[in-house]
Structure 1
Amino acid sequence: MLGRPEFDGRPHGFLYKHRSGGERRGILFTDGDVWRDQRRFVLKTLKEFGFGKMAMEDIILNDAVSLTSIIESLAKLGPITNLHNLTSIAVLNSLWTLVAGSRFDLDEENPKLKEILSILNDLIRNSNVSGGILNYLPLLRYIIPNVTGFTVLNQRLTRMSQFFRSEIARHKQTRTQGEFRDFIDVYLAEMEQSSSNISCFDEEQIINVVKDLFSAGVETTNNTIGFIITYLAVRQDVQEKVHEEIDRVLGKEVLPCITYKNRLPYLNATIAEVLRLANVGPTSIPHRAMTDAILLGYEIKKNYTLLANLRSVHMDEKHWGDPKEFRPERFINDRGEYVEDPWLISFGLGRRKCLGETLARKSLFLFTACLLQKFQFTLSPEHSNPILDGIDGFTIAPPDICVNAIKRKCLLG
């Protein structure tokens, strides 16, 4: 299903339009020519600014190092309860540098950013991939707006749009004709060139494209890092093996970088096992049949909604043997090398697979390596038995935990 273009559509449901001002805009929930044009433009432009290149690695690494310094300072005060908030800003920074040409200082309080990240978290925690009841009975928004959550949803969506609208306005005021600082500058120039009525490059589009990049860029990667820390805090034996490998390959002072990736097979296997077991995105975003079709013998009518159950693949007993067990060794071969398994499809498949997979994989590797090079994570007594199923929503978030970050002394460094 994921590989067939006739299933590449997105549903027409009420909420998918309402989230972007009454029309389907952006990248995540559009299809057809609009989606193709926007996606092509986004990928091309971000690549020109270093997306997926060495420059990107340096940006991520800089944020990972800053994060370890902040955690070190906080750890002196006792157990850390807000690790999820700290990592979200650090994860966002690399993408936001390309998109908006600015960075958020991890050391400084940024009330506006914290508010937007909080709103984003609330939106995702209080929604699901089916769209919820308002998607199927939108009339209820007039009858019981508070009970259906429509009132609060509107407030959150409005505040999110205001944040991105102000960022676009700032770029308009400060940009120089012919000079491009970031993705927004290039998009504004494209809007000027594509001023015809039929163009899909306009102000409402850029607001929703940037919002999609912001949302997708921080949510899943940050949740996965949270799950990595949680699983390793629970499984000290696995964390000890990762520490041993990092100490042997990197030592105490050498910063992790992508060139060391193949020399850290157990770290790669641990990240892969968390991706498999945590299932941050347990299903695909809804697909829509663009035409009548047959799928595995079933008659699929045009406009039917389809969901790919990625979790069922990751938990398939016939393939994995013991899918409920947290066992990174399943990704290690007899020669001690990391081996990718085609049944691990956390980023989806086909043309609608995750746009930011390259950035996400680099971020997961570099952040995890930096954090585990410097710290041993243990659970504080009040969170000694976290529920590893996570917290439900549009994506699955790691459980709220309180961790001790103990600074490590590398024995081999």
Structure 2
Amino acid sequence: MSIDSQIARLQALEILDSRGNPTLSVTVTLTDGNSATASVPSGASTGLHEAVELRDDDRNRYGGKGVRRAAAHVEGEIADALMGLDARAQSDIDHVMIALDGTDTKGRLGGNAILGVSIAVARASALAQGRPLYRSLNDADDYLLPVPCMNVLNGGKHADSSLDFQEFMIVPHGAPGFAEAVRYGAETYAALRSLLHDRGLATSVGDEGGFAPRLDSNEAACELIVAAIERAGYRPGVDIAIALDPAASSFAEGESYHLSRSRTRRLDRAALLALYGRWIDAYPIVSIEDGFGEEDWAGFIDQTADQGDRIQIVGDDLFVTNPRIIREGIARHAANAALIKPNQIGTVTETIEAVRICQQAGWGTMVSHRSGETADDFIADFAVAMGAGQIKSGAPCRGERLAKYNRLIAIEAELGDRARMAAPFARYVERRA
């Protein structure tokens, strides 16, 4: 153990996220005087089995959403347990916190408290080693940069729009590198804004920076994106594809799905699967996330069997970055990719485990932000360190979203020839061509 890299102090501060709700900022100070800070995001569309965000439930402050109790746990029980431990021992520190909390969902101390400490420790470890964070997490000869998946049209719980589906994303997978992928995406986003303006539609944005217009149907969103790709001078499907996150749990009602915003109708599982099939035929879709509700395992299994050789099928609310549930999903062939959100599981160590389980099974991994974000760019370094291959951080708009993309641009420049970007969807595009 290095004396210089021991944890000397933990501090927590109640700050605001991108929706104006309270969240935690945690600072770890080492015995050498170096300190590192992390801030914790928050989701609007959350899975039932996610790590618990501990809130104060004091209606006189922030409508009960304050996080003073979580902050007190950081500076109290957690600090007492971690004081003097080597910040470079990430797994040991994370498991001390897991055991200290003693619940399956980190509900006693708060997943927000534990994650804030875990990420701050990871940053402090990088400082102690004199390395960039991505290299501290994984010292490699070269690194895979993620393809950005940019949410450009918002619906569902992320916007007051006419869209039932939560996210319509553009995926510039044909770009030769990350900075160029961001350029492809930003130019298409600008073209989409222009199209909306020309049609007299709103260009206000939702939680993740995507536009939130009143459209006639969910299908109209895909048609607009194809038109925007073409207006920007790119080839739909080849240069830029479409990814969807319906977030179907938000419109699941019992064993049916109620698409009430754009067209009032109820679909059973088979009808919703058929709808996705028609869309895959009609539009350059390469990925669908949470196409069925989080408790509808049969829907995911059916979709993987029926469409898994044509598109990436991603589980988010279904798996909640939980290694145990991901293993079950692999055994049941319930998807071929998982969304990776550190705050769903609550520690860096468990998030790494979730990624590695997917990779060993040949599954795709998409590292993700949350709708309530901060300027913290941890997930950018994490995606590079893990070779995740994909990242979604919202539209090329709003500072808390751009912080992640800009950090990845900087990492690419820093790595030079040691950085590469590979299209994770190439096999689907080739099969459909």
TM-score, normalised to structure 2's length? 0.24
The structure whose residues are more often helix, as a share, is 1
Higher relative contact order (CA 8 A, sep 6+): 1
TM-score, normalised to structure 1's length? 0.25
